[in-house]
Amino acid sequence: MPSALRDGRRRRVALALAGSWAGALPLVLVAGRALAQDDKPFSPFITTPNNTVMRMLSIATVGKDDHVIDLGSGDGRIPITAALKFGASGGGVDLDAKLVEVSNRNAAEAGVASRVRFERGDVFAADVRKATVVTLYMLPPIVQGLKPVLLRQLRPGSRIVSHDFPFDGWQADATETFFAPEKNNGRGGESTVFLYVVPVEVHGRWTLTITGNSPDMLPGPFELRLQQSNQLLDAELNVARQVYAARDARLAGDRVRFTTALPVEAGGPPRVPWQFSGRVDGETMTGIARNDRGGEVRWQARRTARR
């Protein structure tokens, strides 16, 4: 590990609204950004504890095929650790030119400069389309401002890990809270990391058809109606003019699942629960439905409306 990473050089992070920072450096918010009173972009920085770095990368299941981009990258320790410990490639974006220079020097000292590169820039204008993992340690308003930027650029299945500050209105796919001994100038404190998996967009109406026969299921076709809130879904199936609500409906990247009890004859009551699981590919879905009686059929769906 490069000496610059060991000696605790500070990483840019959004903690200005907590404790003594708030009194020392008053901030205003303009277009979702934290600004000092001279209207220059401002984000106080502090190191991300080394055990927190490892937990952030672990909760995102980073591997050799991943490209990790850290927004507000400070001394570069997160992408450099991703390369050293997990075999990933990556980089970072930071407004501070001196920190960018330090980060690139750290990457060179660690022997990963061919796979990790840092740039000076505004995180709101950063190009993260290559990323499979994005890491953040930012003020809550900045985290919220980055949400639409990340959802617009990242592919379904990409992971976002935010340290200490969650996205409002987006339920985390996983959360871990643990003790970080390096926090608070070595006095220690809790860190929480939030994992978000970017979901595919599925909102609308779909015509669902069944391939194969089962005595426990009508042959269809059915209308599947989906209302989406990030990875969570409200789902229902319209079967022979009867509406059957689904439960446990959610997305994980481009994978969809839901469970619904269906009738075995037209107009009959719902009797047999079926677990639908599949993959979304643009305007189509394909998958398998199973029930606890050993029944199994294949299904496919095509979107007919986005309302």
Which sequence spans correspond to the domains of the chain?
3-197, 204-305
pLDDT of 27 higher than 90: no
pLDDT at 271: 80
In CATH, what is the architecture of 204-305?
Beta Barrel (2.40)
pLDDT at 242: 85
pLDDT at 7: 38
Region 59-77 average pLDDT: 97
- Tell me the pLDDT band of 44, cut-offs 50, 70 and 90: low
- Tell me the pLDDT band of 1, cut-offs 50, 70 and 90: low
- Tell me the pLDDT band of 42, cut-offs 50, 70 and 90: very low
Tell me the backbone φ, ψ of residue 247, rounded to 5 degrees: -125, 170
Cα–Cα distances (Å) from 279 to 125, 137, 211, in that order, read 31, 32, 16
pLDDT at 43: 52
Sheet holding 116-120, edge to edge: 116-120, 89-94, 67-71, 133-136, 159-163, 189-197, 174-180
What percentage of the chain carries pLDDT values higher than 70? 85
Between 3.10.560.10, 1.10.600.10, 3.40.50.150, 3.40.50.300, what CATH number should domain 3-197 receive?
A: 3.40.50.150
Region 206-235 average pLDDT: 90
What does the mean pLDDT of the chain come to?
A: 86
For the stretch 134-173, pLDDT in tens is 999 988 999 999 999 999 999 999 999 999 999 999 999 9
pLDDT of 2 higher than 80: no
Burial class of residue 20 in the structure, from the number of CB atoms within 10 Å of its CB (0-12 exposed, 13-18 middle, 19+ buried): exposed
